[in-house]
Structure 1
Amino acid sequence: MISWREGSVVSLGRSWPGACEAVVRLAAGAEVRALAYVDLVGSLQVGDRVLLNATALERGLGTGGYALVVALPDRLPPDAPAGPGHLVKARYSPLQTMVLGADEQESEHHELLRDADDLDGLPVVVADLHSALPAVLAGVRAAWSGPRPPRTAYVMTDGGALPLAFSRTVAGLREAGWLDATVTVGQAYGGDLEAVSLHSGLLAARHVLSADVVVVAQGPGNLGTGTRWGFSGVAAGEALNAAHVLGGRGVAALRVSTTDARARHLGVSHHSLTAVGRVALAPSDVVVPTVTDEVPVPGGADALRAAFRAARPLLEAGRHALVDVPADAALLAALRGTPVGLSTMGRDLEADPWPFLAAAVAGVHAAHLTSLPRASR
């Protein structure tokens, strides 16, 4: 089940908080790109012998084209200093790791979170794909009217990458000041705060981090099978339910495309139709971008308008509120100003602007919600 490889580091590449790239020469002579999570395996040096997991790389699957460093067997890192924390994540896998959970008994936040039960109207934007994160934040910032910049938090679920350090997007958004804090929930790990469940992670974002807007999405990567129910984004519907149960305002960011080669993802993706229209049983705001003449529509504006019209009753499902927000030139300009590159399924903003516009209008709506009295959210 694991394709093991052994090799030596011949050069180091880019690094960002928690991760480092390297080129590794395998025993057979070939060279591969590898990624090391330095908090888990230690810092790499040229000449290090490394053990690699090359399973997904060998199959051409979505790991960013990396083999993953499992260990530096000749130079193991020292044991972590004794300290609080007994949450085990990636549990019972060979690389399970122990973290301090914000919600566990040893945490300084335990008393605050022990009986916490209310998000107090906090807008919670839920997206299917990790690539939506910078676009949602662009929409929030474009529409924000408060006296200070919005305080934003990203809650990463465990449907994609488990280590938050895999995300160069998060690293870039943090460096630019667009993202204030992160929470990793479930089996995901590496956030500023760790939490056992999505529910406690949302409460931590509200009560510990004092977020104005929260974005919930899986980490980089997305598992899909081409079946109606076999995709990791189903969890987006459950996240909307969680926001409602806790007294937040769930805001659904739709997955949209005008150029995807797969019919099931053209217009409004079947992922959104299923997760929002069928899984999300609690009422939420579903934000639909209004097609304007200011923004190009590869494939034709009329076809996209028709797709939105056809999807509306499936998305509303008798319980959700559909919110129309213009996708205009100003919003497109805001997306062009993001501090990180925008890319989804190999397509950038110029090739297919509508996945990012659909996420950005959800951010616009969330920003508007923060100006309402809490009882009205």
Structure 2
Amino acid sequence: MIRWRKGEVVRIRREWPGAVELDVTLAEGTCRALAYPPLVGRPLPGDTVLLNTTALAMGLGTGGYAMVVAVPDRLPEDPSGPGHLVKARYTPLQATVLGADEQDSPHHEALRDADSLDGMPVVIADLHSALPPILCGLYASATGARPRVAYVMTDGGALPAWFSMSCAELRAREWLCGVVTTGQSFGGDVEAVTLHTGLLAARHVLGADVAVVTQGPGNLGTGTRWGFSGVAAGEAVNAAAVLNGRGVAALRVSDGDARERHQGVSHHSLTAYGRVALARARVAVPALPGAFGARVREQAAPLAVRHELVNVPVDGLLDALEESPVRLSTMGRGLREDLSYFLSSAAAGRDAASLLS
């Protein structure tokens, strides 16, 4: 199940908050590796490291790193401070964090009886790559004071929020007021046990005006109707509704994906919103031009049985996307290679902005 290797760090390639990218020499040659200093300490050139090379051997596009499991000759100091919330539980790298909702947290009183998002818009998407374009559409369309936006990360993809360079840059540019990691995911500005307390923390701890919910980088899919991690998008619609939030569902739309099941409106969106989501939400349908736009509207039409379909103009959104502070990419495709995907995500951000006025 795990491919173990021992190697030596030869150089640090780059780093961002919570993560360090390395070159490591193995018996087979040099490979690219990733370490999370909060978990294993900060490896330095010359250090011996133990690696999990499973994802590297599989050639995974998102997670194709050798992962540093330990720096055995220079272990980090024992952690100190409060926190008894264990994430990545019962794995060799289980970590203890301070949950916003646990008794030792300074936010416990605010969250103990919290039960409402006060009508806060909650934008929900399948893939992590939707986060930047949603923000582009939201900020380009918002009027009045700039809204505070929190990212609420579910555990369907990467578990450490540190893996996301986009998240780190969006946080640094103040495009996000904070990151909330929920379930088994960890490493956010705020930790929460469930998606429900994560949404409440976004509102009552971070003071967000809008929350965006997606899984972390990476996506598990099997080519079956139910076997993909994005089904959690439907559960997020339910969570937002039960907490008196206003759910805005972003459609996963593509004109660049070669796989038939993802062309036009992806089966991921149709299953998550059409079958899993039991509560009503707004579904942002981008007003894309031509025959492709007509196809998207036709594919989305059955969702009207449960949801409110909102036709969202896309004029001006390309300009907003081109001003993104982070690189736009989904499944290896950039903005121009899958424009409809990014416009669809930005349209959900635009619709959320309309709920703030």
Q: Above 0.5 in TM-score? A: yes
Output one character per residue of 1:110-153: Cα deviation in whole Å (capped at 9) or x when no partner.
1110010011100000000000000000011011112x321010
Say which of 284, 294, 297 aligns to 1:306: 294
Partner of 1:367: 353
Alignment of 1:331 with 2:317, yes or no, is: yes
Matches within 5 A, 1:26-105: 26=26, 28-81=27-80, 83-105=81-103
* Alpha-carbon offset, residue 311 of structure 1: 1.5
Alignment of 1:353 with 2:352, yes or no, is: no
Distance in 2 (CA, whole Å) between partners of 1:63 and 1:259 is 18
Task: With the length of structure 2 as denominator, give the TM-score of the two structures.
Answer: 0.98
Partner of 2:121: 123
Q: Percent identity?
A: 66
Partner of 1:2: 2
Counterpart amino acid of residue 19 in structure 1: A
Partner of 1:170: 167
Distance in 2 (CA, whole Å) between partners of 1:267 and 1:273 is 11
Distance in 2 (CA, whole Å) between partners of 1:128 and 1:311 is 17
Alignment of 1:286 with 2:283, yes or no, is: yes
Task: Note the aligned Cα RMSD (angstroms).
Answer: 0.9
Alignment of 1:141 with 2:139, yes or no, is: yes
* Alpha-carbon offset, residue 29 of structure 1: 4.4
Counterpart amino acid of residue 294 in structure 2: A
- In the superposition, relative to structure 1, how do residues 99 and 208 fare at CA in structure 2: closer, same or farther (>3 Å)? same
Counterpart amino acid of residue 121 in structure 1: G
Partner of 1:321: 308
Distance in 2 (CA, whole Å) between partners of 1:169 and 1:289 is 24
Partner of 2:208: 211
SS of 1:291's equivalent in the other structure is coil
* Alpha-carbon offset, residue 102 of structure 1: 0.3
Contact persistence 2:274–2:306 (CA under 8 A): no
Partner of 1:295: none
Distance in 2 (CA, whole Å) between partners of 1:64 and 1:110 is 34
Counterpart amino acid of residue 84 in structure 1: P
Contact persistence 2:8–2:46 (CA under 8 A): yes
Contact persistence 2:252–2:268 (CA under 8 A): yes
SS of 2:132's equivalent in the other structure is helix
Distance in 2 (CA, whole Å) between partners of 1:2 and 1:314 is 43
* Alpha-carbon offset, residue 65 of structure 1: 2.6
* Alpha-carbon offset, residue 61 of structure 1: 2.0
Task: Please list every run of 5 or more consecutive structure 2 residues that lacks an aligned counterpart in the other structure.
Answer: none
* Alpha-carbon offset, residue 63 of structure 1: 4.2
Matches within 5 A, 1:174-189: 174-189=171-186
Distance in 1 (CA, whole Å) between partners of 2:131 and 2:34 is 22
* Alpha-carbon offset, residue 159 of structure 1: 0.1
Distance in 2 (CA, whole Å) between partners of 1:314 and 1:95 is 44
SS of 1:233's equivalent in the other structure is helix
SS of 2:134's equivalent in the other structure is helix
Contact persistence 1:57–1:63 (CA under 8 A): no
* Alpha-carbon offset, residue 306 of structure 1: 3.2
Counterpart amino acid of residue 111 in structure 1: E
Contact persistence 2:286–2:314 (CA under 8 A): yes
Contact persistence 1:332–1:357 (CA under 8 A): yes
Output one character per residue of 1:185-239: Cα deviation in whole Å (capped at 9) or x when no partner.
0000000000000000000111111101100000000000000000000000000
Distance in 2 (CA, whole Å) between partners of 1:64 and 1:233 is 17
